Structure 1
Amino acid sequence: MIVNQDMMELLDKADQISDMILQSEAYRTYKQAHNHLVHDQEAQELIQAFVHIKEAYDEVQRFGRYHPDYNNIMKKVRAKKRQMDLNEKVATFKVAERQFQKLLDDISEIIAHSVSEQIMVPKDGIIDGACGCGSGGSCGCQAS
């Protein structure tokens, strides 16, 4: 690959965008919420309890409703998830994470559409314009 003036300018612009992201309020809020979450003993215990029951859930999912502990594990998973989600540090982190992800999605969209309006851009975890079913449109979606 030959590095020319255009490539250098593009790399400089990418560095500028990166610096702007790292200086954004959304990033600072996300980083602060993450630090509070990591250092909160109660939140970490709730997360670990959820991870532990999620492992049992994954085992039960292999057999689905036919597993003898299916209903019991499903109730426990929902209860642990709710307990974890109601923790102030976890909830604050999730809000900050969504706001930061939105910023990144918006930046991706601006960059992609500056190249071509036809470029599909991930937004809210899915690619805009695709259903995400993986069937290639056989479900009747408008996959391009």
Structure 2
Amino acid sequence: MIATNESVEVLEQVDHVGTMIVQSECAHAYHYARKTLAEDNEAQSLIREFGELKVIYEEVQRFGHYHPDYKKVMGEMRDLKRALDTQTSIARYKKCEDELQQLLTDVAQAFGGAVSDHIKIPTGNPFFDNMSSCSGGCGSGGSCGCS
């Protein structure tokens, strides 16, 4: 691509939007929640325990119901996942992460929509990613409007 005055100006404006996002309340909340999570010893202990159990869980998943520890490991995994989800700093971090992701998705959709309604914007949600437009071969007989 040959750099033109117009492309340089567009890139400068994109940098400006990036700076606005980094300085947003949402981004500050995310960084604060991430820092708080990193300093929370209880949460870090749960995360380490989850990582260790995940290795065992994946081994059990290879054999499914036939593995002798299937029920035990599945129960432990559910309990630990519940403990992770209800731990305050982890829940706050996940909430802030989701809000920042939504902000980035909204910005990407605004940019894409300003160019064309047919531009596919990855949202991180397969339901909405597939709704925007079909690239063909969806098997619905064309009822989705694809060609």
Asked if these proteins are the same fold (TM beyond 0.5), I'd say: yes
**Alignment gaps of 5+ in structure 2:** 132-136
Taking the aligned partners of 2:145 and 2:63, their CA distance within structure 1 comes to: 32
Structure 1 segment 79-90 matched on structure 2, within 5 A:
79-90=79-90
Contact 2:30–2:93, Cα closer than 8 Å, also in 1: yes
Q: Do the aligned partners of residues 119 and 50 (structure 1) sit closer, same or farther apart at CA in structure 2, a change above 3 Å counting?
A: same
Residue of structure 2 equivalent to 1:24: 24
Contact 1:64–1:70, Cα closer than 8 Å, also in 2: yes
1:3 paired to 2:3: yes
Contact 2:123–2:129, Cα closer than 8 Å, also in 1: no
Deviation sequence 1:32-85 (CA, Å, 0-9, x none): 000000111111001111111111111111122222211111111111111111
Q: Which runs of 4+ in 1 moved over 6 A?
A: none
Structure 1 segment 70-81 matched on structure 2, within 5 A:
70-81=70-81
Deviation sequence 1:14-44 (CA, Å, 0-9, x none): 1011101001111000000000001111110
TM-score by structure 1 length?
A: 0.87
Q: How large is the Cα RMSD of the aligned pairs?
A: 2.2
Q: What secondary structure is seen at the aligned counterpart in 2 of 1:109?
A: helix
TM-score by structure 2 length?
A: 0.86
Larger proportion of helix:
2
Contact 2:113–2:119, Cα closer than 8 Å, also in 1: yes
**Alignment gaps of 5+ in structure 1:** none
Contact 1:53–1:77, Cα closer than 8 Å, also in 2: yes
Contact 1:27–1:100, Cα closer than 8 Å, also in 2: yes
